[in-house]
Structure 1
């Protein structure tokens, strides 16, 4: 599975979550945090997708995805420990932890594998 297959939906989920936090609570922090990190993740996924289309891998995009997911895991995990609220802290921390593991796996296995050319 290629990283962008999960990265772009993950980024969209973060963006939507930020907007929901803003609409429900009027939280500018949710909007900025969710939309900001979500846009960065979608951008990294798009860079990875474009590299894959050119039959290349993008280590930079995968590293950016990993750093963002790990940071969200830490920050939202800390927030969950403080508030004990499942939504959104534990949910975002859990999904981000899974994504971090996936990205570390992708880095360890050499990134997106390019299929051989059909002759």
Structure 2
């Protein structure tokens, strides 16, 4: 399975979660964190898919995907430990 097969769905989940958090609670940190990381993952997935069609490896896209995913997973894992709520930090931690 290729990296962009996971990057697109995960990016959409983060983007949607950031937008929902902003619309429901007015949280700009949710918008910047969720939507920003989701957009970065979608961009990296697009770069990776384009490289796949050319028959090349794109290590830059893979590095972006890895760093963003690790950062979101660490932040949400810490948030889950403090709040002990499954939604959204526990779910995002499990997906990451």
- Give TM-score scaled by structure 1 length: 0.78
Unaligned residue ranges in structure 1 (runs of 5+)? 97-119
- Residue of structure 1 in register with 2:27 after alignment: 27
**After the TM superposition, which residues 94-105 of structure 1 pair with which residues of structure 2 at under 5 Å, given as runs?**
94-96=94-96
Let me know the Cα RMSD of the aligned residues: 0.8
- Residue of structure 2 in register with 1:8 after alignment: 8
- Residue of structure 1 in register with 2:66 after alignment: 66
Aligned-partner Cα distance in 1 for 2:91–2:70? 14
Deviations 1:43-86 (A, max 9, x none): 00000000001110111111110111111111110000011111
Offset at residue 11 of structure 1 (A): 0.5
Query: Structure 1 runs of 4+ off > 3 angstroms?
Result: none
Unaligned residue ranges in structure 2 (runs of 5+)? none
Offset at residue 26 of structure 1 (A): 1.2
Offset at residue 23 of structure 1 (A): 1.4
Aligned-partner Cα distance in 1 for 2:66–2:78? 18
Aligned-partner Cα distance in 2 for 1:77–1:43? 24
Q: Whose helix fraction is larger, Structure 1's or Structure 2's?
A: 2
Aligned-partner Cα distance in 2 for 1:80–1:9? 22
Matched, 1:52 2:52: yes
Aligned-partner Cα distance in 1 for 2:59–2:19? 30
